[in-house]
Amino acid sequence: MGVISSIISIIHWNVDPVIFAVGNVRIGWYGVLLATGFMLAYVVLQKIAKNEHVSAEMIDKFALFTCVWTVVGLRLGHCLFYDWAYFRYHILEIFIPFVQTPEGWVFRGYEGLASHGGTIAIILYVLYFSHKHKVNLFWLFDRIAICIPIAAALVRCGNLMNSEIIGTVTGVPWGFVFERLNGTDECCQPRHPAQLYESLVYLSLFGYQMWYYFKHAKGRIPAGRALGTALAVIFTARFLIEFVKADQVAFEANMTLNMGQWLSIPFIVLGVICLWYSLAKKNYPAAPDFKASK
């Protein structure tokens, strides 16, 4: 056991976040993993649609705009919740993937995304889509809640590749030394790989949701069950793991709970309410019977 701990304890993380660059355009691991997460979630959603004989074309339309709304929400969430002091004077940088440097505008992608903003955006779009197309709200929320955890897991892997959202200093044998932070206060000391903690929780949740839907419930799940499970697990994990995360922004140093924890509490409450509703009412909404739009 001592030998294993010795081997594990020398995790020096020095992965280049950029896969390749062409001029000022950089392709990074985060963007690739985010896109892969979206694609895998889409594949699962299509499998669910096929299982319940729902129009594949309509699901395609829903998936496309959900991705767009999610990216917008991720970006706005970061700018409003975490860095408004900067973006209030750089409004244009909120919407375009370029940053202004002394050398001019440089393509960087969207550096700064917040999962709580993405969650709010998804909820708003599902509300809009279900109203417009007369789809049972819980049916749609529950199905998308099965897919989302795989995307969330890969996003956290992207954070790991970027050496960002790091944990606090630790003596555990699996601590990571984030060498790319050399020259900062965060370098040289083993830290909790908080990104991996979250990723493993989300990946486990995805496995459970898939098992529950396809094997246990065989496509027939009570309204609110998958949604409540996803919200309660994801944001409870987020709330707890924040205790072993380094502060993401300076103003969090003076907070009893950090921004991520305060933003997680309403989603935890909502998840518990949805779980209670699914257990108390045991309502099983039917799949939508709409025609694909031409």
Helix H or strand E encompassing 207: helix 194-210
| Residue 147: inside a domain | yes
| Residue 187: inside a domain | yes
Q: Is the dihedral of CA 136, 229, 235, 15 positive or negative?
A: negative
Q: What is the full per-residue pLDDT of the chain (294 aa) written as tens digits?
A: 444 444 455 688 989 988 887 776 778 898 899 999 999 999 999 999 999 999 988 999 999 999 999 988 888 877 777 777 777 777 766 666 666 666 666 666 666 677 888 889 999 999 999 999 999 999 999 999 999 999 999 999 999 999 988 999 998 889 999 988 866 666 678 899 999 999 999 999 999 999 999 999 999 999 999 999 999 999 999 999 999 998 877 777 777 888 889 999 999 999 999 999 999 998 999 888 765 444
| Residue 293: inside a domain | no
Residue 127's contacts (CB-CB under 8 Å, 6 or more residues apart) are: 137
Strands 18-22 and 25-28: antiparallel
Q: Decide: helix, strand or coil at residue 152.
A: helix
Give the per-residue pLDDT at 222: 96
Query: Residue 222: is it exposed, middle or buried by C-beta count within 10 angstroms (0-12/13-18/19+)?
Result: buried
Strands 11-13 and 18-22: unpaired
pLDDT in tens, 19-47: 887 776 778 898 899 999 999 999 999 99
| Backbone dihedral angles phi then psi of residue 22, each to the nearest 5 degrees | -125, 105
The boundaries of the domain holding residue 256 are 2-281
Angle at 118 between CA 104 and CA 259, to 5 degrees: 85
Give the per-residue pLDDT at 37: 95
Give the per-residue pLDDT at 202: 98
| Residue 287: inside a domain | no
| Residue 125: inside a domain | yes
Residue corresponding to tokens 């944001």: 235
| Residue 294: inside a domain | no
Give the per-residue pLDDT at 183: 64
| Residue 225: inside a domain | yes
Give the per-residue pLDDT at 30: 86
Give the per-residue pLDDT at 93: 65
Give the per-residue pLDDT at 20: 85
63-102 burial, b for 16+ CB within 10 Å, e for fewer?
beebbebbbbbbbbbbbebbbeeebeeeeebbeeebeeee
| Cβ-contact 68, 38 below 8 angstroms | no
| Residue 288: inside a domain | no
Give the per-residue pLDDT at 22: 77
Query: Residue 215: is it exposed, middle or buried by C-beta count within 10 angstroms (0-12/13-18/19+)?
Result: exposed
Virtual torsion, Cα 200, 203, 208, 210, nearest 10 deg: -170
DSSP class of residue 231 equals H
Domain count, the chain: 1
Residue corresponding to tokens 């129009």: 55
Q: Report the C-alpha gap between 205 and 201 in whole angstroms.
A: 6
Give the per-residue pLDDT at 1: 45
